[in-house]
Structure formats: structure tokens, C-alpha cells
Amino acid sequence: MTRIVATNITSPLGYTTEDNYVAVKCGETSLKKLDGYQGVPGRFCVGVFSDEQRKELKLDGFSWYESLMIHSIKDALSRSNIDPSSPKTLFIVGTATADIEELGDCPEHDGDYLAPGVATKKVADYFGFVNVPITVSNACISGGTAQMMADRLIASGAYDSAVVCGADVVSAFVLAGFNAFKALSPMECRPFDMERMGLNVGECAATLILTRDTNGDEEGWHLVDGCLNNDAYHVSAPIPSGDGVRRTAARILTPGLKESLACVTAHGTATMFNDQMESKAIEGAGLGDIYTTSYKPHFGHTFGASGIVEPIITMYSLDEGILLPVLGFEEIGVSGKIKICRAVEKTEKKAFIKTQSGFGGCNGSIIYSRKAEQPKPAQAAEYKEIKTLHIQPDKVILNGEAESYESTGSALVSEIFKKKLLDGSRFFKMDIFSRLAYVATGLLAKDALAGYAPEDIALFIFTQNGSVLADRKHLSTFSNPEDFYPSPAIFINTLPNVVLGEIAVMNTIKGETTLVMLPYRDDALIDRIVKASLSSTRPSVMIYGWVDCEAENSFVADLKMLRIVK
């Protein structure tokens, strides 16, 4: 359990948490209807900064995405006594697309693009952070995943404090992709409503500063507990039963905590499938009798920022003794038995649960409380390395033994799949990063996961470049207005964690699946993150390692499989 000592929200509604809370309380929204925004044909309802706000916030030498993060982090730091230059202070970013608006369809067309981990390092250097920064890219649950990683690393003793920032911006890249999925609403979104038409994308940066809770401070908000998993159902569609989100909530809901909850702060995207799934999850977790709310009608879906900005708003509302309604909600449009907050409601409770789900099958729930709950006792866990795998363009080494293949480069990856894993997946629709990660984990997992409960298997992939090659391919489908054909099949692979969903589906992995991006390979940091996760969650099996692709024929995969001993 960690204590939250400072926050910030930088959005079109305001540049401080206080400004944003007042705007939300007053029923304001950042959503606006724009034609041909960012050059993408059509009318969109989006939560974006005005031209005047962009000029005010944009910093020389930094991209728009980086500038937003800097503003948010600077304000949060000014409200705390945290020293970024301390070796005991960690910096973590949660983002789905990062600097993507600076990417070109080829390197020659790049603006100020930096790989997500490298962009995070640039921001870290601005503030003087001395530790290697971490970037979590778990689609829509990136902000929540980043908080959980910070909480675990602080609990492990590796750090005393963490600055956690969630940020994403609205770009042609994102608009064209989600428009191809037919997921966008031309009107203001209406979560859980009968007449909801889809989501609105939004941009925002939000920051939480977490510290070790050493004295049971009753005055501050606390991150009490959380759980992450995969539903192993589909990479872009939520499991209809809501099983993934339900399991994350059920795992952390003790009877005492459940009774203390004022509300569920839902993901509430206003898409047909996600809201339906989430309603079933909330009901299944036994939370249908407390109020459910969503703030997407105020900010839009801010992706990596959503898991931070939305809990902050709930903290401020509970501090005032009220719950805020779902803006625009009129009539229930989901089958799960849930209680939508329709008007301002009074409450004396000071705790809530935040639920999230995202592409790649990932799900999460986090409980926040003003009461300093008794922390879970540390559970020492011992793991044994049982399998290893190394792949590079001209060799494959499994458990220390070289395997023989005829091909090299990307053709080697395809040959491995055909000879060892032919499984009916969408392998040949994947980008090279996804194909490599899929093949590497498949080889490692083959005949090794039988007998383990799917919920007890975890998967962590670390990378620098992630899905950049798929990103460029997606850009090429709409960069020419005369040849505009963005494809959902291509766009889905631009989220680097999606391959973890592919792997989870084919190997029935229902434990945590997390994608981490670093500015460069750092095996010591990777081991530190993995050990903190193992100590906190104690899965029976963990597959983890480095997978990175610089080009179609320049790549490396180094993976390990661990099994719990005691």
C-alpha cells in the first residue's frame, strides 16, 4: 500500500486538479465537434486542447505529448517534497500511443518522434530523475498498470517514491485507426446509456506521486490494492461475461473493503460491447448495489491518462462528500444489474474501486481509500528458471541447445511458426514484432504449461521499439488523402501489448500480461520489475524477457520461464 501525496490533471478543462474537478462538478465537457480534424475525413467529437491552449503549453524542443507530461509533472512535484534526483525516486509513464503524432510513414518523414521509452527518458532528464524511467504500454489500462508497478516496486524496497504520469494525445493516427473500427461516436459519448453510439477520443496528462506509507497517515489517499489480468478471449473485443474485469475486482475485494466503497469508477467508454461487458463484471463482482460512474463524457477516452485522471476526480468528489453523475445518461442500456449515478449524491464513504479494460484482453481493478488499511504481509517467493530461449536473425537457442532452421531474418520467424506452432492464429497478419514475440513465447510455452491454472500464469514483455514498424504501416494507409484506406487489421497491431493478447488466447494465459518499454535494454531493471511482481502476485509460472525489432531482419528475443518453488 502506498500513499498519494500530490496530483495534477492537465486537460482542456484546466491545468490543475482543482480546475478540472470544478469543471467536472459543474457539468462541463472538453468534447467538441470538429470536421476533418488532423486531416482525417469526417466529423468527430473529440476532447482536445484549443489552438490557444496548445501555444500556451507547448515547450520549445519538446513534442506536444512531452510538453503535456512536463506541465503535469511539474505542477504535481511543486505540491510535494519529492526529489527527482534521489536514487530512491522512480519515474513511470503509462501511455497507449506516446509520441505517435511525430511519427512518419518512413524515418525520413519523422517529426520529433522518439520511441516511447526514449521520450520518457527525455522528460526524465528534464526533471533530473537519475533512475532509468519505465514506460508501460498496456493500451487503455496503461495508467492503472503504471500505478500497480510503482506500488510493487516501492513495496519491494527498491524505491521510496514514484512519480506516475499517464498521457496520450489525439492524433490523425488514433482517429483514423478507431474510425476504421467504427468505434467513434459523432456525438458526446453516453456511457451505459441505451442510445450510446461509441467513444470520443480525448487528450490529457495526469500525474500521481506515490510514497511509502510509513506511519499509517489517515489524512492522505492511499492505493490500497490492485489486480491485473487477461481474459484470453480476443485482442479487440471484451469477453461478454465480463470475467476478466470481474476476477480483478473479486481478487482484491475483502468483505471489509467492499463495505467501505462509495462507488465504482468505471472505464465506461460508451462502446456497445465494453459497457455491456463492464456491467456484467460489476454485477458479477457483487458491486451492482453501489453507484457506478464514468467521466468519459467530460474528457473523452484519454487512454493512458484515463486510469489516473478518473480516480483523481473521484478522490476530490469523495473529499467533498459527494458522488458525481454520469453526464448525459438517461436510460440504462446494458443488461448487467448496476446502479448508475444519475445526479449528485451525498456519501460519507471514503473509498472506491476503479475498473479498466483494454485491447489485448487486459483488465485491471484498483481500490483507493482515505483509510490506511493494514498492508498485506510480504510473501517471500522463490522461483526456479526452467526454460530459456534466444532468437536472433540467424540462430535459435532453446534451453542452451542450438536448433536447426533453413531461413534467416524474418523468414526464420515464419519458419519456426510453420514447423513448431501452426495453430490457426492470425500470425501472418501480424507485424514482425508481434510475430517474433508470438513465436518466442510459443516455443517456450510449448508442452510446459499443462497442469497450471490459467489464472496462475503471467507474461511480461520488455522492448524498446515495440510496434513501430506496424505504426509506420498504419500511417502509410492514410498519409495520402488520395489513397485513404486505414485498416482495423493493421491498426490493431500498432498497440504493442496486443500481441500479449494473441499469446494469451493461444496459450490460455489468464494471469497478468504487461508490456514495458525502456529507453534501452537494462537487464537489472527488468529483473527488479519482475521480482517485485512475483513477490506481490505469486503466479505459478512467469514468462518474461526482452523482445525488440529495429527492422524486418534486425531483431532479438531473449525469454525465460520461471516456476514457483515456494
User: Active-site residues: which are they?
Assistant: 140, 267, 301
Residue 442 bridge partners (DSSP) = none
For residue 264, give every residue at least 6 positions away whose Cβ sits within 8 Å of its Cβ, in sequence order, or none: 282, 287, 290, 291, 292, 293, 338, 352, 353, 354, 355
Q: How far apart (Å, rounded) are the C-alpha atoms in residues 384 and 209?
A: 34
Q: Say how many residues make up the chain.
A: 566
Q: Are 180 and 486 in contact (CB under 8 A)?
A: yes
Q: How far apart (Å, rounded) are the C-alpha atoms in residues 117 and 518?
A: 4
Q: Are 407 and 415 in contact (CB under 8 A)?
A: yes
What DSSP assignment string belongs to 42-82? SEEEEE---HHHHHHHPPTTS-HHHHHHHHHHHHHHHTS--
Cell of 43: 466529423
Cell of 187: 456525438
Other C-beta atoms lying within 10 Å of the C-beta of residue 388? 15
For residue 55, give every residue at least 6 positions away whose Cβ sits within 8 Å of its Cβ, in sequence order, or none: none
CA distances 499 to 83, 332, 557, 558, Å, are: 37, 34, 14, 16
Nearest of 3, 7, 32 to residue 21 by alpha carbon: 7
Handedness of CA 58, 59, 61, 66 (dihedral sign): negative
Other C-beta atoms lying within 10 Å of the C-beta of residue 33? 13
User: Quick one: DSSP state of residue 420?
Assistant: I
Largest CA distance in the chain: 69
* Angle formed by the axes of helices 172-180 and 468-476, nearest 10°: 80
Nearest of 238, 37, 77, 72 to residue 143 by alpha carbon: 72
Which helix (H) or strand (E) is 209 found in, with range?
A: strand 204-212
What DSSP assignment string belongs to 224-251? EEEEEEE--S-SSS--TT-HHHHHHHHH
Residue with cell 473521484: 314
Nearest of 92, 94, 53 to residue 71 by alpha carbon: 53
Cell of 275: 459497457
